[in-house]
Amino acid sequence: MMFLSFRELALILLCQLPWLLSDFYYRRTCYCDYSLGQSVSSLNFLKYWSRAISGSEGKFTVLGPQQPITALVGGEAIFHCHLYPQKDARDMEVMWFHEKHSGLIHHYRDEQDQMQNQLPEYQGRTEFLRENISSGNVTLKLSNISLSDEGKYLCKFSNSIYSHEAEFQVYVADESVADALFPRTWITLLFICGCLVAIFLFFTNYNDILREVRGYTGPARRLLEERGWNGISSLPCMQEQASPEDMQKEQKEMAFPSLLCHHEVVLQENQREMELNLSPTPDILKRPGLQTAQKHRVDITLDVDTAHPFLLLRMDGKSVISCSHKLKKSKHPERFENLVCVLGKERFTSGQCYWEVNVEDKMKWILGFCKDSVCRKVGVQVTPENGFWTISLKKGNTYWALSNPQTHLCLAVAPKIVGIFLYYEAGCISFYNVTDGTHIYTFQDTFNGALRPCIFPGQLSIWENIVPITIPSQSQKILQPPQIPKHVRS
């Protein structure tokens, strides 16, 4: 782990402050409307899922947004819908309705828009996006939002033998209401106070900070530039010759972050023995111990072409961090545009493999494997049914296996290093807490097609989640759980 001084942290926050405050303001604005519809969306999802399971051959289920959509007056709203199981919808009829008007908002049939019966108040305001309609994914964009657009919406798919519809809720927030919830005056005061504190720290350490900005590679800049972060070259930098004293100090500082701060590993051997003494299930028989899994270690490198625009990758592909604003990235068919994640370059279609991730000091993340064919342009739930086998950390202290439904995980020790093991033929993906040598969770499934490592580094928020997720390279030694002789165990 890299330790930053207080003044260096203040310098970083000064650069991020405008985006962080705007993000905080937007979330405060939409919080009330979002919480009102949370329980409704959960019930709707359960209803749709039960229909999908019980569906017979030839039938399908339409899945709409799983959470209420909140839009501002004058803005636009995006409605995503897709079919389960996945199928080509180009020859289907797709209709969108608003319950208040009981009339047609948008109509698609015969591979083109049919606008003859569209309600007058929606004319010129809808756009049907069908780039992924061959896989059953469609999107309706509604622009120039007004208060009358609030309510329930229906998305209906039909073919010659069957039809089904999804229902979802839309809330519309007026900017005046948002100001009443959190007045702009407070935003201004918070911004001014933050700037004053940053300016005070800046001038208190003016010479040191100026030297860092102009080229002295201190810890703050080294985290991004010296370690090869992709995109940091746009920062202002003037070359300045460092003194011998500075170079000596720099070499001492670099010794600490280059080591993975894996402290002493305490193996809970008694707990593991109790688990092994239980009646073994087929899953446990297929799941090896941590030390056995580590024998199949592979070197994973992140693929910059798949990274969401909110993610910044180090140029060696070993670290990823979230940003407070979108980065300018080239268009690429494999790039995620909705899920804020990145995939590994390596693809696995057989055999066994194991890799590790350093998540120390992170407040949120999602790690695991996914299908190479997962949808990248439209938002989907991160579940095994959609091709994701992952676990997550939420709110800094709650761990979940993202099964369907999700499984709460009780960990005695917070993992600094998470190990991930794939046994393709056995349909087994296991997760380990390398910090104490314990097993976390195992997915049991049947795989087809290539699987790739995936990482969601978690959203950047005020004071939280500002450290990167790192994949230790093959040359870095990971502390192994200590071996306890059998005669000592007994």
Residue that finishes a domain, picked among 140, 173, 206: 173
Which pLDDT does position 230 carry in this prediction? 56
Q: How far is CA 7 from CA 146, 456, 468, in A?
A: 46, 29, 19
Query: How confident is the model over 292-328, as pLDDT tens digits?
Result: 999 999 999 999 999 999 898 988 899 998 887 788 8
Q: Is residue 480 part of a domain?
A: yes
Query: How confident is the model over 233-291, as pLDDT tens digits?
Result: 433 333 333 444 544 443 443 333 333 333 333 334 444 433 433 334 444 445 788 99
Structural domain containing residue 303:
269-489
Which pLDDT does position 218 carry in this prediction? 46
Residue type, 150: E
Within 299-369, residue ranges assigned H as helices are none
Residue that finishes a domain, picked among 173, 195, 227: 173
In this structure, the answer to whether residues 447 and 317 fall within a common structural domain is yes
More confident residue, 356 or 45: 356
Question: How deeply is 295 buried, as exposed, middle or buried, from its count of CB atoms within 10 A (0-12, 13-18, 19+)?
Answer: exposed
Which pLDDT does position 286 carry in this prediction? 57
State the pLDDT confidence band at 204, using cuts at 50, 70 and 90: low
Which pLDDT does position 276 carry in this prediction? 38
In this structure, the answer to whether residues 163 and 277 fall within a common structural domain is no
Residue position matching structure tokens 């049914």: 385
Q: Kindly tell me if the per-residue pLDDT of 100 is higher than 50.
A: yes
- What's the whole-model pTM score? 0.44
Q: Kindly tell me if the per-residue pLDDT of 409 is higher than 90.
A: yes
Q: Kindly tell me if the per-residue pLDDT of 30 is higher than 90.
A: no
* C-alpha–C-alpha distance, residues 353 and 52, integer Å: 33
Q: Is residue 225 part of a domain?
A: no
More confident residue, 80 or 286: 80
Q: Is residue 400 part of a domain?
A: yes
Q: Kindly tell me if the per-residue pLDDT of 343 is higher than 80.
A: yes
Q: Kindly tell me if the per-residue pLDDT of 331 is higher than 90.
A: no
Query: How confident is the model over 1-24, as pLDDT tens digits?
Result: 445 565 666 656 665 555 555 555
Strand 69-72 to strand 163-173: parallel, antiparallel, or no bridges (unpaired)? Answer: parallel
Residue that finishes a domain, picked among 141, 157, 173: 173
Of the candidates 266, 331, 363, 321, the residue with the CA atom closest to the CA atom of residue 468: 321
Q: Kindly tell me if the per-residue pLDDT of 463 is higher than 80.
A: no
Q: Is residue 25 part of a domain?
A: no
Which pLDDT does position 246 carry in this prediction? 45
Q: Kindly tell me if the per-residue pLDDT of 357 is higher than 50.
A: yes
* C-alpha–C-alpha distance, residues 32 and 366, integer Å: 26
Total domains present in the chain: 2
- Helix (DSSP H) and strand (DSSP E) numbers for the chain: 11, 23
Which pLDDT does position 22 carry in this prediction? 53
Q: Is residue 257 part of a domain?
A: no
In this structure, the answer to whether residues 284 and 165 fall within a common structural domain is no
Query: How confident is the model over 151-203, as pLDDT tens digits?
Result: 889 899 999 899 999 888 998 887 655 555 445 566 777 788 888 877 776 66
Which pLDDT does position 228 carry in this prediction? 56
* C-alpha–C-alpha distance, residues 172 and 302, integer Å: 39
Mean of per-residue pLDDT scores for the chain:
74
Helices 6-36 and 206-213 cross at an angle (nearest 10°) of: 80
Q: Is residue 160 part of a domain?
A: yes
Q: Kindly tell me if the per-residue pLDDT of 353 is higher than 90.
A: yes
Report percent pLDDT > 90 for the chain. Answer: 37
State the pLDDT confidence band at 466, using cuts at 50, 70 and 90: confident
More confident residue, 463 or 277: 463
Which pLDDT does position 213 carry in this prediction? 44
Q: Kindly tell me if the per-residue pLDDT of 470 is higher than 60.
A: yes
Which pLDDT does position 23 carry in this prediction? 53
Nearest 5°: phi and psi at 175? -65, -30
Q: Is residue 144 part of a domain?
A: yes
CATH number at residue 464: 2.60.120.920
Q: Is residue 385 part of a domain?
A: yes
CATH number at residue 165: 2.60.40.10
On whether the CB atoms of residues 8 and 219 are closer than 8 A, the answer is yes
Per-residue pLDDT, averaged over 220-233, amounts to 51
